Structure 1
Amino acid sequence: MEAILIGFMGSGKTTVGRLLAEQLQTAHADLDELIVQRAGQPITAIFARQGEGQFRQLEQRTLLAALQRPGILSTGGGTPTTAANAAILTTSSIPVIWLDATDATILARVAADDGRPLVNELDTTALLTLKQRRAALYAAAADLVIATDRLTPTQISQRIVDWLAQSAQRVIQA
């Protein structure tokens, strides 16, 4: 992996991840899609039938496998919330980029999306409380933070490309 994108649901991880992979001429993997492939069922079904605990275990195994592949990885919003996943992200040499967005932006992006289990289960207040609780976990795992609200996905992707290039130059010079 060249980079891992983290952030709350609706922050743009998948959209930016695809663009970033295209710019870097590499593969893109979406952790949620990899989980669906591995489980043979949608995430909403995994949550409903097996619960969040089983989902997080499957997520951890899938994350470890994904890190062995080339490309850009867009994670699920809850990926860094378990201690095991957080440790994987923070100890990996792969750059972790937190795509952050304001509450208003997140709500506007996820309001009509019934494919997100937590959006279906939580009211607005609970959803924003969850976002706030996760912020410290995202910050702890991130090597770079990008506020996405006023940027297009293309602008975000370009900032990441520029940052990755600068980081590579520092390593070469060291």
Structure 2
Amino acid sequence: MKAILIGFMGSGKTTVGRLLAQQTGTEHADLDELIVASAGCAITDIFANQGEAYFRRLEQQTLRRALTTPGILSTGGGTPTMPANAAILTASPVPVILLAASDATILQRVTGDASRPLVNDLDTTALLDLKHRRAPLYEAAADLVIQTDALTPQQIVTTIQDWLAQPAQQVARA
């Protein structure tokens, strides 16, 4: 892996991950898509039929496998909030980049998206409470934090590429 993207749902991980992979000539992997391929069913079905605990175990196994492959990895919104996953991410030599977005931006992007189990289960207040509870966990796992609200996907990719090109990346805020 060249980079791992983390952040709350709707922060742009998949969009930016695909563009970054394209522009760096590597593969893009979306952890949620890898989980779906492994399970043979949609994430909403995994949550409904086996529950979140089963999903999180499958997510951890899939994360470990994904880190052994080349490219850019976009994680699910809950991935770094699980202690075992956070340990995997922070122990990995691969840079972890947090894409952060405001409450308004997140709500604009995820409202009405039936493919997101938590959007279906939580009202707006509960969804934003979840985002705020997860924020410190994201930040603890991140080597770089990018506030994305005022940036296009291309600007975010350029910021990441510039940071990755530095001789020694340090924890940074962009």
Shorter-chain TM-score tier: over 0.9
- 2:168 is the alignment partner of 1:170: yes
Matches within 5 A, 1:128-139: 128-139=128-139
Unaligned runs of 5+ in 1: none
- Residue 104 of structure 1 corresponds to 104
- Residue 4 of structure 1 corresponds to 4
Matches within 5 A, 1:75-114: 75-114=75-114
Secondary structure at 1:170 match in 2: coil
Structure with greater helix share of residues: 1
- Residue 125 of structure 1 corresponds to 125
Aligned partners of 2:124 and 2:14: how far apart in 1? 23
TM-score normalised over the length of structure 2: 0.96
Determine what percentage of the aligned residue pairs are the same residue: 72
Deviation >6 Å, runs of 4+: none
- Residue 18 of structure 1 corresponds to 18
Aligned partners of 2:107 and 2:136: how far apart in 1? 19
Aligned partners of 1:164 and 1:2: how far apart in 2? 9
Q: Deviations over 1:56-102 (max 9, x none)?
A: 00000000000000000000000011110000001110000000000
- 2:142 is the alignment partner of 1:142: yes
- Residue 151 of structure 2 corresponds to 151
User: CA-atom RMSD, angstroms?
Assistant: 0.8
TM-score normalised over the length of structure 1: 0.96
Aligned partners of 2:48 and 2:142: how far apart in 1? 30
- Residue 72 of structure 1 corresponds to 72
Superposed displacement of residue 170, structure 1:
3.2
Superposed displacement of residue 147, structure 1:
0.3
